[in-house]
């Protein structure tokens, strides 16, 4: 349970971080909060040649309110976003979901962007990005690009980020008047990764449900104004389309049942929360 050898570079500027990532190919990786990467290093499931510590790059920080989104920079820790006094006013779903990420002791170091980069299928931040239709801002020495969350997450712990790119920020769309949000997570113990997590968002047009912990990556579906038995049936289809698998924590049938029950409950709650 000790990491294999690697070089360590504490980048002071974005250009420095980009340069190391560009010159080493896939052998260099970013370390941010380290809350997922250090265990992977210790278990030797990750064996990079170089670690690039980005936490001292001054211009990667900050929570910025844009016209229609909140931009969260790469060095912003989960605890910092959760403690931001304006969070619930600008995006209630984040205020609901962030307390479920690990524990206070891991949120104090883990970053928001690091969670997006890891792309764990059960993770709350990727789920919120998919539910809200958020965006991921990537940059490399070669240039910048911005991707929609549903294009970014593309497989089990896999994203469309290239090896030389880092996530500079993620963008969470801001709430609009009349939107309602709800978040429900089922895990064995508080702070564990979710077995199933549901996020719902309701507006005048209808409702969207996003589910984490079932498919390889968080997945959203729009249900429009559907309600009653028709909604239950549509959620049933969704639950099957997610192609749940059996694992140590729960079997596929159980996960589907959680999607049916919790999905419906989350949608109903989001609709009630519309003001």
Partner 1 sequence: MPRLTADRHHRVRFTLNGRPVEGDAEPRMLLTDFLRHVLGQTGTHVGCEHGVCGACTVEIDGAPARACLMLAVQADGMTLRTVEGLAPEPGRLSVLQDAFRRHHALQCGFCTPGILMSLDIYLRGHASPTEAEVRDFLSGHLCRCTGYVPVVAAALDAAAKLREAAGDA
Ligand X SMILES: Cc1cc2nc3c(=O)[nH]c(=O)nc-3n(C[C@@H](O)[C@H](O)[C@H](O)COP(=O)(O)OP(=O)(O)OC[C@H]3O[C@@H](n4cnc5c(N)ncnc54)[C@H](O)[C@@H]3O)c2cc1C
For 265, other C-beta atoms within 10 Å of its C-beta total 14
Which x/- pattern over 211-250 shows residues binding ligand X (rule: CB under 6 A)? ----------------------------------------
Say if residues 198 and 209 touch (Cβ distance below 8 Å): yes
Decide whether 81 or 235 has the Cβ nearer to partner 1: 81
Question: Looking at the DSSP assignment, which residues form a beta bridge with residue 221?
Answer: 209
Q: Is 159 in the site for partner 1 (CB under 8 A)?
A: no
Dihedral sign computed on CA atoms, order 14, 16, 22, 28: negative
Query: Binding mask 27-46 vs partner 1 (x if CB under 8 A, - otherwise)?
Result: ----x--xx--xx-xxx---
What distance in Å separates the CA atoms of residue 212 and residue 125, rounded to the nearest whole number? 10
**Enclosing H/E stretch for 266:** helix 252-272
Q: Does 73 bind ligand X (CB under 6 A)?
A: no
Q: Of the two residues 50 and 226, which places its CB atom closer to ligand X in the complex?
A: 50
> From CA 13, how far away is CA 59, in angstroms rounded?
8
Candidate residues 152, 181, 193, 217; the one interacting with ligand X per rule CB under 6 A: 193
Pattern of binders to partner 1 over 161-200, x per CB under 8 A?
----------------------------xxx---------
Please tell me the distance from the alpha carbon of residue 264 to that of residue 275, in angstroms, as a whole number.
20
124 part of the interface to ligand X, by CB under 6 A: yes
Distance CA 165, CA 245 (A): 31
111 sits near ligand X (criterion: CB under 6 A): yes
Q: Which residues bind partner 1 (CB under 8 A)?
A: 1-12, 16, 31, 34-35, 38-39, 41-43, 49-51, 53, 55, 79, 102-106, 108-109, 189-191
């Amino acid at each position: 349970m000790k990491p294999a050898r690697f070089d360590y570079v504490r980048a002071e500027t974005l250009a420095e971080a980009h340069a190391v990532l560009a010159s080493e190919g896939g052998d260099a990786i970013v370390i941010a909060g380290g809350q997922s990467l250090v265990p992977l290093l210790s278990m030797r499931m990750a064996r990079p040649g170089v670690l690039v510590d980005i936490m001292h790059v001054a211009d990667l920080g900050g929570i910025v309110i844009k016209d229609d989104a909140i931009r969260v920079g790469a060095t912003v820790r989960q605890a910092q976003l959760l403690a931001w006094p304006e969070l619930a006013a600008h995006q209630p779903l984040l205020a609901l979901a962030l307390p479920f990420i690990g524990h206070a002791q891991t949120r104090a170091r883990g970053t928001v962007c690091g969670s997006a980069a890891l792309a764990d299928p059960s993770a709350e931040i990727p789920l919120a990005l998919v539910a809200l239709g958020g965006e991921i801002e990537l940059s490399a020495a070669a240039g910048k690009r911005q991707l929609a969350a549903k294009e970014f997450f593309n497989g089990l712990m896999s994203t469309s980020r290239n090896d030389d790119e880092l996530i500079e920020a993620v963008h969470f769309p801001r709430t609009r008047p009349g939107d309602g949000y709800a978040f429900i997570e089922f895990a064995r113990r508080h702070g564990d990764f979710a077995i199933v997590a549901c996020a719902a968002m309701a507006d005048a047009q209808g409702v969207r449900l996003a589910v984490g912990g079932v498919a390889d990556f968080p997945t959203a579906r729009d249900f429009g104004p559907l309600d009653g038995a028709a909604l239950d049936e549509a959620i049933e289809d969704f639950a099957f389309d997610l192609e749940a698998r059996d694992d140590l924590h729960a079997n596929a049938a159980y996960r589907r049942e959680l999607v049916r029950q919790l999905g419906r409950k989350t949608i109903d709650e989001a609709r009630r929360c519309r003001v």
